[in-house]
Amino acid sequence: MAEERDCVIAGGGPAGMMAGLLLARAGARVTVLERHPDFLHDFRGDTIHPATLQLMAELGWLDEFLRLPHQKAPDLHAEIAGQQVTIADFSRLPLDCRYIVFMPQWDFLNFLAEKAQELPGFSLRMGHGVSGLLRENGRIHGVIWQDTSGAKGEIRAPLVIGADGRHSVVRTKAGLEVQDFGSAVDVLWLRLTRLPDDPVPAMSHAGPQQGLVLIDRGDFWQCGYVIRKGSFDDLKARGLPAFRAALAALAPLPAGRFDEIQGWDQVHLLSIRMDRLKRWWAPGVLCIGDAAHAMSPVGGFGVNLAIQDAVAAANILARPLREGRLQDADLARVEARRRFPTKATQGLQRMMRRKRNEKGEAAPRPPGFIRAIARFPLLAHAMGRLIGMGFRPEHVKKVPGHGVD
């Protein structure tokens, strides 16, 4: 027999875990299905913006959260025409935390999972992926799951939330149409040992044709190397020595440091895409986070936009779910609230990326938007607000005995 819940969530990433936690906190019976057996996956988004830290404060968890390993960035820098330029300054934000936190996503998700599992209505099942949707009279009424052993089962629920990423099974099975905005680049992620006497570079260190991002992880650098979309095989054909030389040409580190890259298995391809669902819901199902809108890595917005979606969804849907009166109009309200900040953020990302010609070569100069910030430093505070808080920051609704408005 199928299990009965108020809500089943596909995907245990930031959107799914936060939505599940907040719905259960409000009294709903929620099951989150995560297809991986654990959260330990390298090179997932781990930029926690001030707006998300504010949510941790509203939930009463900020001090505990900040005891997890992390690095703080009170501002973000880039190299433009050989000069270090502050492109985002968070020092004037009207929030408790005026900085970005870099934290491994598995630590963030484990933290949310531990908090959620203290709630009686919450269930997390690792190693369980959604393979299909249950339909009845034109509505979706639950999911078919399959675990890592191949066993299958069903969970019936009046609401299915698709938070299963940019390759969402839920949105595909629900027949939701995707609008693809394309991308001219991909990103190669790799690790490089961080030494005590390494210089402290800009977080974003740009070259004339490619880009290299260095993020301080304490004992190692997380390196992101921007390449023309679809060119990874060509790059590998030129060999590791040429790849190491290309990295060294952009990095503020000695060329010999890249000798520790000894094989292509140390290099991970992230295929960049930017898209958005034309409609985020169908009767009985709602998509949020990357399942509703895949983001470019520019600005590190993905995790935080997903979290904001989850908070909005919980604020709007918790009561009708708990009272057994969920309507399609409630799902439409979530999309209506989150569509503008999503469109605006994706528009900002397009403004921040370099133009490229038909061969995929980047323009020699940064976008005019970024050059304007370099010319007028006060704009860095405005940029700090856009990155740090977003276009419509959400707040956790008060539940008796929990948190604040």
pLDDT at 299: 72
At residue 252, does pLDDT exceed 50? yes
Is 148 domain-assigned?
Answer: yes
User: Which tokens is 7 given?
Assistant: 């809500």
Residue 207 has pLDDT above 60, yes or no: no
107 with 220, same domain: the answer is no
C-beta atoms surrounding 376 within 10 Å: 10
For every residue of 278-327, DSSP letters joined together read: SSSEETTEEE-GGGT----SGGG-HHHHHHHHHHHHHHHHHHHHHTT---
Residues 204 and 120 in one domain: no
Q: How far apart are CA 309 and CA 313, in angstroms?
A: 6
Residue 161 has pLDDT above 70, yes or no: yes
Higher pLDDT, 228 or 126: 126
Give a yes or no: residue 386 inside a domain: no
Tell me which of 236, 270, 304 is where a domain ends.
270
In a domain, 398, yes or no: no
- Do 217 and 170 share a structural domain? no
Contact residues for 25 (Cβ-Cβ < 8 A; gap 6+): 119, 314, 399, 402
Does 367 reside within a domain? no
pLDDT in tens, 267-276: 999 888 889 9
Residue 265 sits in the same domain as residue 279: no
Mean pLDDT of 29-47: 85
pLDDT tens figures, 300-320: 788 999 999 999 999 999 999
Given 247, 270, 293, which residue is the final one in a domain?
270
Q: Read off the amino acid at residue 249.
A: A
Mean pLDDT for all residues in the chain = 87
Mean pLDDT of 162-172: 95
| Residue 375 is assigned to a structural domain of this protein | no
Alpha helices per DSSP H over 118-231: 169-173
Q: Are residues 161 and 206 in the same domain?
A: no
Q: What's the CA gap between 116 and 14, in Å, rounded?
A: 13
Can you tell me the distance from the alpha carbon of 318 to that of 394, in angstroms, rounded to the nearest whole number?
15
Residues 313 and 330 in one domain: yes
Same domain, 223 and 108: no
Could you give the strand order of the β-sheet that contains 159-162, starting from the edge strand earlier in sequence? 122-126, 30-34, 7-10, 159-162, 285-287, 281-282
Q: Global pTM? A: 0.87
At residue 103, the pLDDT reads 87
Tokens matching residue 384 = 């700090």
Q: Pick the residue with more confidence: 317 or 403? A: 317
How confident is the model over 88-124, as pLDDT tens digits?
899 999 999 999 998 888 999 999 999 999 999 999 9
Give how many domains the chain has, as a whole number: 2
Range scoring the smallest mean pLDDT among 147-151, 284-288, 293-297: 293-297
Residue pair 330/316 in contact by the 8 Å Cβ criterion: yes
Domain of 240, CATH number, reads 3.30.70
Residue 354 backbone phi and psi in degrees, to 5: -75, 145
| Parent domain of 162 | 3-70+99-180+273-354
Euclidean distance between CA atoms 21 and 9, whole angstroms: 11
Same domain? For 236 and 318 the reply is: no
Spatial distance between the Cα atoms of 334 and 81, rounded to a whole number of angstroms: 43
Q: Give the DSSP H/E element, type plus range, for residue 154.
A: strand 152-156
* Most confident region among 44-58, 146-160, 261-275 by mean pLDDT: 146-160
3-class SS shares of the chain: helix, strand, coil, % to 5: 35, 25, 40
List the CATH number of the domain containing 290. Answer: 3.50.50.60
Q: Compute the distance between CA of residue 229 and CA of residue 68 in angstroms, rounded to an integer.
A: 35
Cα–Cα distance between 164 and 34 in angstroms, integer? Answer: 8
Same domain for 224 and 255: yes
Do 39 and 152 lie in one domain? The reply is yes
Q: Does 49 share its domain with 126?
A: yes
In a domain, 359, yes or no: no
Given a cut of 90, whether residue 399 has pLDDT beyond it is: no
Report the percent of the chain where pLDDT is more than 70. Answer: 88
Domain boundary at 309, 338, 354, which? 354
Closest CA to 159 of 295, 351, 31: 31
Does residue 221 carry a pLDDT above 70? yes
Helix axes 50-58, 379-389, angle to 10 degrees: 50
Q: What pLDDT score was predicted for residue 347?
A: 87
User: Residue 28: inside a domain, yes or no?
Assistant: yes
Task: State how far Cα 358 lies from the chain centre.
Answer: 29
Claim to verify: residue 291 and residue 170 sit in the same structural domain? yes
Question: Does residue 397 sit within a domain?
Answer: no
